[in-house]
C-alpha cells in the first residue's frame, strides 16, 4: 500500500507546487464597463467583435489581430502589411443580422475578445450569449464615443502592457478633439454652416442631428439640417428631394462615391446652394472611414478635415500634413503626397 501512496503523495505535492505558477498566468482587470474580468498575463491574440473595435485594436498593435470582420477591398488592402492582409474574415456582431463564423473563431483561438456597446442596444447581450462557446475572457471597451477615445487608448495600453503606445494615442485624441472644439467655439448658431449628410445611392438617406452617425458635424461646429429623433440603431433615415430643397444646405458631405460623381450634373440637385457653390465633399474612407459607417477613431482626423472644410479661415489646417502624421501614428503607414491626395479625394 505504501508503494502506491508514496508516489501519489509525491504527485499531489508536485501539483501543489505548480498550481501557484498556473494561477500566476492570469490577472484580474476591471474593464471600461466596471466589470472585473480575469485575463491572461500574456496577451498576443485578440478578436474584436465589430469594425470599430477591430480598427482601434489595429491602431494599438496590428500583430494582435486574429482576423477581420469584413473583407477589405483592393485599395484598402494596400495600407496593410502582407500578414495582416492574409488574416481570415471572421465576421462579427454589428449592423443588421451580422454575426461571426464561430467555427473560424474557435480555430483562430484568441486569448480574449473585445466588445463595445452601441447606444444602449441589446447587441452586447446577444453577442455575449453567442460567444459562450468560445470560453474566452470578454472585455468591454468604448469604441464609439468620440470623447472617450483617449480613455480607451489608455485602458488598452494598461490591458495589453503597451502603456506608452496607449499614452501617445490618447494624447493625440485629447489634442484633436479639444483643439477643434476650441477653434469653433463661439460661432453663433445663426452663422454655423448648415450641413446635409448624404447617404445612399440617391443621396436621400441621412442621419438625425443627435445620431452617433452624424455627431462629427456638431463637433466640427456645423449644424445638421436633419433635425429629428433617430428611429432605429441603424439610422439611414429617409428624406425627399423636396425636403432637401427646403433645407437648402450650404455644405453637403457625401458617403457614396457613386452619388458624389453625379451630384453636380443631376438636374434635381442643381438648385441646392451647396451644389451651386461646389461645396459638396466626398468623405475620405481609406482604409477606414473618417466620418461614419462605421464611426471609429478615424473621426479624430475626420473632425479636423470637416472643421477645415466648413471653416477654412477659422481652422486653417494643412490636411496633407495632418493626414501624413495621423496615418504614421495610428495606421503605421508612411504615405506619399500622391497617396494622401488620393485619400483626401483631391
pLDDT digits (tens, 9 = 90+) for 14-58: 444 344 444 448 999 999 999 999 999 999 999 999 999 999 999
Instruction: Judge if 22-144 and 187-343 fold alike in CATH terms.
Output: yes
What does the DSSP assignment read for 84-122? HHTS-B---S-TTT----HHHHHHH--SEEEEE--TT-S
Is the whole model's pTM more than 0.85, yes or no? yes
Q: Comparing 280 with 85, which gets the higher pLDDT?
A: 280
pLDDT digits (tens, 9 = 90+) for 270-319: 999 999 999 999 999 999 999 998 889 999 999 999 999 999 999 999 99
pLDDT digits (tens, 9 = 90+) for 113-162: 999 976 445 567 788 888 988 899 999 999 988 999 999 999 999 999 99
pLDDT at 96 > cutoff 70: no
Residue 334 — φ and ψ, nearest 5°?
A: -100, 115
Residue 122's pLDDT is 58
Residue 125's pLDDT is 75
DSSP 3-state assignment of 259?
helix
Alpha-carbon span 214 to 306, nearest angstrom = 12
For domain 22-144, which architecture applies? Answer: 3-Layer(aba) Sandwich (3.40)
> Which triple of cell numbers denotes residue 247?
433645407
CATH number, domain 187-343: 3.40.50.1980
Q: List the chain domain ranges.
A: 22-144, 187-343
Segment 173-195 shows an average pLDDT of: 97
Segment 265-270 shows an average pLDDT of: 97
Ramachandran region of residue 335, left (φ > 0), alpha (ψ -120 to 50) or beta?
Answer: beta
- Give rounded-to-5 percent helix, strand, coil for the chain: 45, 15, 40
Residue 230's pLDDT is 79
Amino acid at each position: 500500500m505504501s508503494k502506491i501512496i508514496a508516489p501519489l503523495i509525491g504527485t499531489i505535492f508536485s501539483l501543489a507546487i505548480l498550481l501557484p505558477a498556473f494561477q500566476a498566468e492570469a490577472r484580474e482587470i476591471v474593464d471600461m464597463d466596471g466589470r472585473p474580468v480575469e485575463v491572461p498575463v500574456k496577451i498576443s491574440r485578440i478578436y474584436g467583435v465589430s469594425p470599430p473595435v477591430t480598427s482601434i485594436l489595429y491602431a494599438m498593435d496590428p500583430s494582435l489581430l486574429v482576423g477581420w470582420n469584413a473583407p477589405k477591398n483592393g485599395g484598402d488592402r494596400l495600407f496593410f502589411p502582407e500578414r495582416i492582409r492574409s488574416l481570415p474574415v471572421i465576421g462579427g456582431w454589428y449592423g443588421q443580422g451580422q454575426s461571426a463564423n464561430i467555427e473560424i473563431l474557435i480555430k483562430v483561438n484568441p486569448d480574449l475578445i473585445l466588445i463595445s456597446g452601441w447606444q444602449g442596444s441589446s447587441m452586447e447581450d446577444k453577442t455575449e450569449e453567442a460567444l459562450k462557446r468560445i470560453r474566452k475572457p470578454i472585455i468591454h471597451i468604448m469604441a464609439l464615443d468620440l470623447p472617450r477615445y483617449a480613455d480607451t487608448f489608455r485602458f488598452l495600453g494598461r490591458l495589453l502592457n503597451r502603456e506608452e503606445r496607449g499614452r501617445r494615442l490618447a494624447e493625440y485624441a485629447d489634442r484633436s478633439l479639444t483643439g477643434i472644439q476650441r477653434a469653433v467655439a463661439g460661432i453663433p448658431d445663426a452663422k454655423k454652416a448648415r450641413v446635409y449628410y448624404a447617404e445612399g445611392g440617391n443621396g436621400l438617406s441621412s442621419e438625425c442631428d443627435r445620431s452617433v452617425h452624424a455627431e462629427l458635424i456638431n463637433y466640427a461646429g456645423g449644424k445638421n439640417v436633419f433635425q429629428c429623433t433617430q428611429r432605429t440603431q441603424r439610422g439611414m433615415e429617409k428624406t425627399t428631394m423636396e425636403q432637401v430643397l427646403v433645407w437648402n444646405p450650404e455644405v453637403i458631405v457625401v458617403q457614396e462615391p457613386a452619388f458624389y460623381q453625379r451630384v453636380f450634373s443631376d438636374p434635381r440637385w442643381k438648385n441646392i446652394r451647396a451644389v451651386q457653390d461646389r461645396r459638396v465633399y466626398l468623405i475620405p474612407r481609406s482604409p477606414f472611414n473618417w466620418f461614419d459607417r462605421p464611426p471609429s477613431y478615424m473621426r479624430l482626423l475626420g473632425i479636423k478635415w470637416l472643421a477645415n472644410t466648413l471653416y477654412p479661415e477659422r481652422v486653417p489646417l494643412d490636411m496633407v500634413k495632418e493626414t501624413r502624421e495621423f496615418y504614421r501614428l495610428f495606421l503605421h503607414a508612411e504615405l506619399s503626397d500622391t497617396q494622401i491626395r488620393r485619400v483626401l479625394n483631391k
